[in-house]
Amino acid sequence: MSEREQAKQIIDQLPEYKIGNLLLFLKGIQFDDDIEDDLYCQKLYEDYLNNPDPDKHETITLEELAAQEGIVL
């Protein structure tokens, strides 16, 4: 039995009055994941801003990228 199936089985056995607290807990875990994602993205952005490479602002078109990767658009 997978961990997900085990968790569902436990939830199914809980009395109704405990489900609300469990739901708050699960939403809190989801909220923590969102915060971690935001912090990771912020770190990537800061790393980009602090990168001393003078070529970091160079861009290419989507068509050029596709051609480099051998993709036909």
Q: Taking the mean position of all CA atoms in its chain, how far away is CA 65? A: 25
- The yes-or-no verdict on residue 29 having pLDDT over 90 is no
- The yes-or-no verdict on residue 4 having pLDDT over 80 is yes
Output the CA angle 26-28-31, nearest 5 degrees: 115
Alpha helices (H) along 1-73: 3-13, 16-50, 62-68
pLDDT digit string, tens, across residues 32-67: 778 888 889 999 999 999 999 988 889 999 999 999
Q: Where are the domains of the chain?
A: 3-68
pTM of the predicted protein model: 0.44
